[in-house]
Amino acid sequence: MPSEVAEKQQVSTVAAPWPTMALSEAIDINPKRPLPKVGNVPFLDMASLPLHGAPVTVTDKRPVSAGGARFQAGDTLFARITPCAENGKLGFVSALEGGATAQGSTEFIVMGARDGITLPEYVRWLSGWRHVRDHAIGLMEGTSGRQRIPAWAFDEIDVPVPPLDEQRRIAEVLRSVDEAIAANDAALAGVRAAKQGTMEASLSDGYPEVRLETLLADTRYPMRSGPFGSALLKSELQPQGIPFLGIDNVHVERFVPVYRRFVSEEKYKELARYTVFPGDVMVTIMGTVGRCCVVPQRVGTAISSKHVWTISIDQDRYSSALLAWQINHSPSVLEQLLGSAQGGIMSAISSGTLRDLRLPLPSPEQVREIDDLLCAFNAQIAVMEAEQRAVQNLKTALMSDLLSGRVRVPA
C-alpha cells in the first residue's frame, strides 16, 4: 500500500523558497461566525472531534448559547487543551447541514482560510503539520493537566505560504494519502467485526461453563500479581536489568514492549515468584481495569507489577489467546469483571474475581480449532495495522516535505 500511494505522488525538488508569515496572518484564528439568537444549532463536543484532520461529522443539536466555538463548513477545529492537543485531536468541517453555523466545545480553536492567502483544505493540513503542532504545544499555558494553547501562540509560529494553485495541488496529494488511510481503516474495521462475530458464534454453542480457576496451569504460582509494599522500593528500580512490567505494557489483545523500569539481577532472585513467562495472560487490575494481552515469545525474563494479574493457563485444555479475547471482548465476561470492580476511579479486580470467572469450555479439539481461527484473524489484523502505520508514516513525511516547500508538486 505505501508504495502504491507513493507511486501516485509525482513530486520534484526545487530550491526557490516561498514567502513566510505568522500562522495567524496566513489563517483566520477564531473567525467571527454569526449564530441565531434562539433555537437549536448543530453542536460538536470534544469527544466527537476526530484525529489528524479527519472529516468532522456533526449529528447533535443543542440550544444556542453565548459561549463555545463557532464554526462553518471549510473551517478546521484544533483542540487546545491537554491531552487532546498532544493526542492530535483535529478535524476538518467539510460540510454542515443547510450551510449553518455550528457551535462546539470551548476548548476548540477555530481556524479559517484567508481570502487570497490560503485555501480551506490547505489550512486543514497546515494546522496538522508537526512543525505547527509541536510549536503550539510548547507554548501552552496553565497548570499541569489543564494546560491550553493560547490564541497568541499562532502569532509566534512562522510558516511558508505557497501560491493558491500550489496549495491546491498539495492538498490533493495529501487528500489521496488520507483516502488510502480511510480505506485501510474501513478494511480493518471489517476484519475486526468479522473476528468479533466469528468468536461470539464459536462460543455460543451451549458449552458447559467452568471457573477460570479450574483451567490454571499446574504450577506453584499459576496466578500472581507483582510485589506489594516494601518488597520493591522505588530506590531499587534500575536503569537496566530485569524489566518490570505494568499497565503500560498491556493493551487490548496487544503486548507493548515499552520497558521503563528494571530491577537488578540480585533483587530479581528475591522476586522470582513474580516472573512473567511467554504465553502468560496479563490483566490490568487497577485504573483502567480489564485490559488483557498474551505475553509474546520475544519477551525474555521479566516480572510484573502490582497493577496486573498474570495468569498461566493449562494449554492442553484452553488457549491463552482465547482467554485474552474473552476478557477483552466477551460481554458476559466483561460483565462479571467490571461488575465486581471496587474503588471508583481507581477500581481494582481481586484474584477471587478472576478465579471465579465463568467461561465456556469446548472440548480440547474445539479449543484448538477456535484458537486457530483467532490466530488467523490476529495475524491478518497485524499485517493490516503494519500497512496502516506505513501509510501514516508516509503521510507525516509528505506533510513535512510538501508544507515546508522542500518538495514541490508540479503543475
The pLDDT tens digits of the residues spanning 382-411 come to 999 999 999 999 999 999 999 999 999 888
DSSP 220: S
Q: List pLDDT tens digits, range 119-168.
A: 999 999 999 999 999 999 999 998 766 899 998 999 999 999 999 999 99
Is pLDDT above 90 for 354? no
Q: Considering only 8-17, 101-110, 295-304, 375-384, which range has the smallest mean pLDDT?
A: 8-17
Nearest to 303 by CA among 279, 272, 324, 282: 272
Scanning 228-319, the segments in alpha helix (DSSP H) are: 265-270
The amino acid present at 372, given as its one-letter code, is D
Instruction: State residue 116's pLDDT score.
Output: 94
pLDDT band at 65 (very low <50, low <70, confident <90, very high): confident
Residues 6+ positions from 225 with CB-CB distance below 8 Å: 274, 285, 304, 305, 306, 307, 308, 309, 310, 351
Q: In the predicted model, what is the mean pLDDT of residues 172-189?
A: 92
The CA-based dihedral angle spanning residues 159, 3, 191, 193, taken in that order and rounded to the nearest 10 degrees: 10
Please name the residues in contact with 230: beta carbons below 8 A apart, sequence gap of 6 or more. Answer: none
> Residue 9 and residue 411: Cα distance in Å, rounded?
12
Strand 302-304 relative to strand 292-294, pairing = unpaired
In the chain, what are the domains? 1-17+163-206+366-411 (1.10.287), 19-161 (3.90.220.20), 208-361 (3.90.220.20)
Q: Which three cell numbers stand for residue 260?
A: 521503563
Give the pLDDT band of residue 300 (cuts 50, 70, 90): confident
**CB-neighbour burial class of residue 332 (10 A; exposed 0-12, middle 13-18, buried 19+):** middle
Most confident of 66-75, 184-193, 200-209: 184-193
Question: What is the helix (H) or strand (E) element at residue 134, kind and residue range?
Answer: helix 130-138
By residue count, the chain amounts to 411
Q: Nearest to residue 192, comparing CAs of 382, 387, 386, 391?
A: 382
Amino acid sitting at position 62: R
Is 212's pLDDT higher than 90? yes
pLDDT in tens, 322-335: 999 999 998 888 88
pTM of the model: 0.76
Dihedral over alpha carbons 294, 297, 302, 308 (to 10 degrees): 0
Residue 289 has what DSSP assignment?
T
Instruction: Assess whether pLDDT exceeds 80 at residue 13.
Output: no
Residue 248: pLDDT over 90 = no
> Among candidates 374, 339, 331, which has minimal Cα distance to 356?
339
- Pairing relation of β-strands 275-276 and 302-304? antiparallel
Query: For 335-376, where are the E strands, in sequence order?
Result: 358-360
